Amino acid sequence: MVKNATYLILLSLIFTSCASKKYLMEDVKNFKKENHLSTSKDFMITSQGHYSSKAAKEVIDKGGNIIDAMAAISFVISVERPQSTGIGGGGFLLFYEKKTDTVHAFDFREKAPLRSDSKMYLDKSGNEIDRKSLDGIFAVGVPGLVKGVLEIHKKYGKLKRADVLKSAIDLARNGMPVYEELRRALKGREKVLCKYESSKKIFCPGGELLKEGEVLKQNDLANTLERISRFGEKDFYHGETMRKIVSTSKKYKGLLTRKDFRKYNVVNRRPISGTYKNLKIYSMSPPSSGGVHIIQILNILENTNLKKNGPYHPKSIHYVSSAMEMAFADRAAYLGDSDFVKVPLKGLTSKKYAKRLFDKIKENEAFKKEDISKGDAPAYESDHTTHFTIMDKEGNTVVSTQTINGWFGSGLVAEGTGIVLNNEMDDFSTKPGAMNLFGAVGSKQNLVAPEKRPLSSMSPTIVFKDGEVKLGVGTPSGTRILTCVMQTILNYFEYEKPLYEAVAMARYHHQWRPHQIRFDEASLSSSVVSELEEMGHKVKFKNLGCRIQAVAKEGDVITGVSDPRGEGKALGF
Ligand code: GLY
């Protein structure tokens, strides 16, 4: 009897402590700081890979500049994180050049093949063909990463191309142990990676998926990178590498042709910009939705006083998530590649429109599903892509988010190249109202068209205060990218948290569909959950998957934080 009573008390204690588990400021202190926090006076790199951050340091030690460091990271991270980025993919990059006081924005996102069309993922009855936009050759957009990185490097770098490619070639050739996240990604894509001979040879040798700790060597990729080192983009867009990719496409009756590669172009875009109180924010413009909605959400929130209640007060969460919800409804209706469709950027980022949206939020009541618009609840998906941030003592800053989309992209390696081909085509709407891998709803604005770029959420962002650069920030994780970046800005500037805490603090996300707020796991006290539910919010716990890489200039000191949830490295020197 006594034993039973003790057992019940114990159980209730465990239950109470779980139910009120907090993963807020107190728990931030329990995260490991080694590798994730660094300070320096001269140079700071934060990336999702140890080899990548170190390679960037090596080129700086050789006399390179921030752009040489950017090129080195881009190629090494392609080898180190074949599950989430690579030369078979694309990305966006913002570069704040102190000398000219200019923020440059580069778009090297994949483009739809010339032979693609808006119905390519539908059967004769107009239904989506299962996984056609996700697995195999039809999922592949024309890769832009090599051209993007090399063009930027040619214009602003100091070192030779061979100097910035050396570490990537060595890493691919010598190999590296499979780490936990890589193993998880391999497991998640086992079916497709062990199906194609060209992919199997690298990731599933002899039919057995590589295990954690086993060495992953990528010899074909090393040879491809060597060719790029010698011949530059000519190899990738006109030479041997292009021929090998096109021949793989032909083998599987895909759409890619030589002309697709010949016509691929990098775009120097005007970054999207806006203000929040005394901050000036620059981020990526369409075909990314990221910058537009970061600015839209902050514009809405400028109408309330978040600081008064603090970041985890139910009222703050209610206002922030309602603003997110309205922004995502607009994303679904208006966003697409602005080279092809009209995107009302001015309206979406105007303070007047934001005030109108703010006025719709009731103080103590969540929007009902039908209040904003109609739609069905999709499943959430995973946390791919990669991001790095670099800053030097002058304030020059590079933020770049790069991706092959889902884990291991299409799962198809172009034969004889070691290149994992992307599945970026899934970021298009397969038909109006359909959802992508990340559960994002799309409209006809984002339908496939030849040479169009699929809508993205990637949000490399730079924040200025009083005319001085203060923060470079970005993250992977699909649609959560923009809300994670936005919350880091709020945590650092509005709530005035130190950078490490601003990154480590629990985050949440509302993307209109599904009609719920998704919180980092175990991140909220039960009383806050109850209050939110009383307002009519649905609350779900599932990690958002963001891995913020942030660098802040704080007087003479540069602080770098690589999200402690991940396996990255902040490296100052
Ligand atoms: N593929 C993820 C994104 O571009 O947002």
- Quote the pLDDT of residue 106: 98
Q: Considering the chain, what is the average pLDDT of its residues?
A: 92
What is the share, in percent, of the chain residues with pLDDT greater than 70? 92
**pLDDT digit string, tens, across residues 234-251:** 999 999 999 999 999 999
Closest to 487 (Cα-Cα) out of 451, 459, 464, 456: 459
> Which residue is closest in CA terms to ligand 1's atom 4?
456
Whether 457 lines ligand 1, by a CB cut-off of 6 Å, is yes
Catalytic positions are 385
- Quote the pLDDT of residue 4: 42
Which helix (H) or strand (E) is 244 found in, with range? helix 240-251
Whether 385 lines ligand 1, by a CB cut-off of 6 Å, is yes
Whether 386 lines ligand 1, by a CB cut-off of 6 Å, is no
Which helix (H) or strand (E) is 388 found in, with range? strand 386-392
Is a pLDDT exceeding 50 seen at residue 373?
Answer: yes
Query: Average pLDDT for residues 512-534, to the nearest whole number?
Result: 89
- Name the DSSP letter for residue 380: P
- Quote the pLDDT of residue 34: 85
Whether 110 lines ligand 1, by a CB cut-off of 6 Å, is no
Residues 107, 538: Cα–Cα separation, whole Å: 36
When pLDDT is cut at 50, 70 and 90, the band that residue 521 belongs to is: confident
> Which residue is closest in CA terms to ligand 1's atom 3?
456
- From 285, 438, 479, 509, the mutation candidate for ligand 1 (largest count of ligand atoms within 8 A of CB) is 438
- From 81, 335, 405, 547, the mutation candidate for ligand 1 (largest count of ligand atoms within 8 A of CB) is 405
List own/partner pairs for 186-192 with CB under 8 A and 24 or more apart: 186/83, 186/210, 186/408, 188/382, 188/407, 189/83, 189/406, 189/407, 189/408, 189/411, 192/135, 192/136, 192/408, 192/410, 192/411, 192/412
Is a pLDDT exceeding 70 seen at residue 7?
Answer: no
Global pTM value: 0.93
- From 385, 425, 441, the mutation candidate for ligand 1 (largest count of ligand atoms within 8 A of CB) is 385
Query: Average pLDDT for residues 257-270, to the nearest whole number?
Result: 98
User: Pick the residue with more confidence: 2 or 91?
Assistant: 91
- Quote the pLDDT of residue 442: 65
